[in-house]
Amino acid sequence: MPDLEIIGIPQSNYVWTCRIVCAEKGAPYKLIPAAPHSPEVNAVHPFGKIPVMRHSDVTLYESRAICAYVDRVFDGPPLVPAMPHLAAQVEQWISVINTQIDPLLVRQYLLGYFFPGTPDGKPDRTRIDAALPQMEKHFAMLDRGVGKTGFLVASAFSIADATLVPILYYLTKAPESKAMMDNARNLNAYLKKMMERKSVAETTPPPPPERHN
Ligand X SMILES: N[C@@H](CCC(=O)N[C@@H](CS)C(=O)NCC(=O)O)C(=O)O
Sites of contact with ligand X (CB under 6 A): 12-14, 36, 48-51, 62-64, 98
What does the buried/exposed string (b/e) look like for 137-152 if buried means 16 or more CB atoms within 10 Å of the residue's CB?
Answer: ebbeebbebbeeeebb
With respect to ligand X, which residue has the nearer C-beta, 55 or 143?
A: 55
How far apart CA 134 and CA 83 sit, in angstroms, is: 33
Cα 59 to chain centroid distance, Å, stands at: 20
Least separation in angstroms between CB 155 and ligand X: 26
Do you find a cis peptide bond into 51, omega within 30 degrees of 0?
Answer: yes
Least separation in angstroms between CB 98 and ligand X: 6
With respect to ligand X, which residue has the nearer C-beta, 142 or 167?
A: 167
Positive/negative CA dihedral, 190, 191, 193, 198: positive
Closest CA to 49 of 3, 102, 118, 110: 102
With respect to ligand X, which residue has the nearer C-beta, 63 or 158?
A: 63
How far apart CA 72 and CA 105 sit, in angstroms, is: 30
How far apart CA 131 and CA 124 sit, in angstroms, is: 11
With respect to ligand X, which residue has the nearer C-beta, 18 or 23?
A: 18
* 153 contacts 90 by C-beta, under 8 angstroms: yes
Least separation in angstroms between CB 4 and ligand X: 16
With respect to ligand X, which residue has the nearer C-beta, 51 or 112?
A: 51
Q: How many residues belong to the chain?
A: 213
Least separation in angstroms between CB 14 and ligand X: 4
With respect to ligand X, which residue has the nearer C-beta, 13 or 203?
A: 13
Least separation in angstroms between CB 10 and ligand X: 11
Q: Residue 46 burial by CB count (10 A; 0-12/13-18/19+): exposed, middle or buried?
A: exposed
Least separation in angstroms between CB 64 and ligand X: 6
